[in-house]
Amino acid sequence: MATLYPSLKFIPKDKSLFYATVRQRVDAYFAERQLSRHADGRMIVKSIVMISAYMLPFLVILLLGLPFWADLLLWVLMGFALAGIGMSVMHDANHGAYSDSDAVNYLMGHTLTMLGGSVYNWKLQHNHLHHMYTNIVHADDDISDKVMLRFSPHTETKPTHRFQYLYAFFFYGISTLYWTLAKDFLQLARYTKHGVNKAAGAEQRNVILRLWVSKAVYVFVMLVLPTWVFGVPFGEVLLGFVIMHFIAGVVLTFVFQLAHTVEGTTHPLPNERGVIENDWAAHQLQTTVNFASQNKWLSWYVGGLNYQVEHHLFPKVCHVHYPQIAPIVQQTAQEFGLPYLQNDTFGDALHAHFALLKRLGKMPSLDDVIAG
């Protein structure tokens, strides 16, 4: 569970000035150029493009009565747009990186609600657990075992894991569908039980109510409204909805997995006192990998998440600035003798991910090996 190490702390054996130094240099970059760390015109244009690519095709499906095959193509476009909004718009906003205005961040962050997700849960899982405890099993929920998938060398190996590199694609594809229809409810209950969710009393009741209402509205708009009001055959709507989520699930899962679940990253464990004997910033460099950073089109679409090192060190900086601060981070890491992990191409990153899935599918738990 995410609270197996409720008092998990980073206490380095030797104090490092890396993080203080790289923060000072990045701060100087923005100050010298009189630049905001938040969104600029490029981000606004991207937000308009992504949201339009999600909403306009749906309106066309509802209003124009196009042939079935044309509607399916529109659902495909919505799938890529759904993933694009998740990576390029709501992600920055829910980190507080989109704007210096809390109201703007709140509004843009709730584009996730429009996609069927829960902002409240997402912040608990992503901002708190994943960013603080990256690649630490039972603390980083992103690498917890998923049904038939194993992402950590410290969990139990099951016979089905042997072929996970072959069937992972399918489970990635249904991930956002599961997230939309069930995961948020189950996750909130688990986070509440184990103390990750601190809400109680009236606040907790409000969280639960908002979750149910938002899900009900989403399901009504996406699945009921098209048939009930606009006469689109339900079978076509359901198929398009599943296709949209399958595409979004594949894109989102791959992009996030390629940054951490690849060959070359570490999976450290705390000692018996619940301490990671490392500097937090150094830990981020050792558990995080950039990929295809020279691919401008990919960088644009994935919201700079291929600059994952920069994102983990500076989550409140809008991703449009990552290409400029990346050389600062890399140079500083080299000066302090720290790794700066990266895969040059998207293909290299994919290969590193599937290689790790294949290895994890065969290797026993490292904890069992040590105990033996």
Compute and round to an integer the Cα radius of gyration of the chain.
Answer: 21
pLDDT band at 172 (very low <50, low <70, confident <90, very high): very high
Residue with tokens 């990929």, as numbered in its chain: 291
184 in any annotated domain: yes
C-beta of residue 317 within 8 angstroms of C-beta of residue 328: no
- Tell me the per-residue pLDDT of 12-44, one tens digit each, with 9 for 90 and over: 888 889 999 999 999 999 999 999 999 999 999
185 in any annotated domain: yes
Mean pLDDT to the nearest integer, 192-211: 91
Is the per-residue pLDDT at 47 higher than 60?
yes
4 in any annotated domain: no
Mean pLDDT to the nearest integer, 73-89: 97
309 in any annotated domain: yes
Mean pLDDT to the nearest integer, 100-114: 96
Is the per-residue pLDDT at 294 higher than 80?
yes
Mean pLDDT to the nearest integer, 78-99: 96
- Tell me the per-residue pLDDT of 306-338, one tens digit each, with 9 for 90 and over: 999 999 999 999 999 999 999 999 999 999 999
Q: Which residues of 40-62 are buried (b: 16+ CB within 10 A; e: fewer)?
A: eeebeebbebbbebbeebbeebb
Mean pLDDT to the nearest integer, 128-137: 92
Q: In the 8-state DSSP scheme, what is residue 333?
A: H
pLDDT band at 108 (very low <50, low <70, confident <90, very high): very high
pLDDT band at 85 (very low <50, low <70, confident <90, very high): very high
88 in any annotated domain: yes
Structure tokens that stand for 233 in this block: 């055959």
Containing structural domain, residue 278: 9-371
Please choose, from the candidates 84, 119, 109, 139, the residue with its C-alpha nearest in 3D space to the C-alpha of residue 276: 139
Percent of the chain with pLDDT over 90: 83
pLDDT of residue 231: 92
Is the per-residue pLDDT at 4 higher than 70?
no
Is the per-residue pLDDT at 6 higher than 60?
no
User: How many CB atoms are located within 10 Å of the residue 201 CB?
Assistant: 7
Q: In the 8-state DSSP scheme, what is residue 128?
A: I
How many domains are contained in the chain?
A: 1
pLDDT of residue 357: 95
262 in any annotated domain: yes
User: What is the rounded CA–CA span in Å between residue 253 and residue 345?
Assistant: 17
Least confident window among 9-23, 89-103, 318-332, 336-350: 9-23
Please choose, from the candidates 95, 93, 88, the residue with its C-alpha nearest in 3D space to the C-alpha of residue 105: 93
Mean pLDDT rounded to a whole number for the chain: 92
Residue 278 half-sphere exposure toward CB, CA atoms < 13 A:
20
* Amino acid at residue number 270: P
Q: E strands along 249-332, which residues?
A: 275-276, 290-291
pLDDT of residue 372: 46
1 in any annotated domain: no
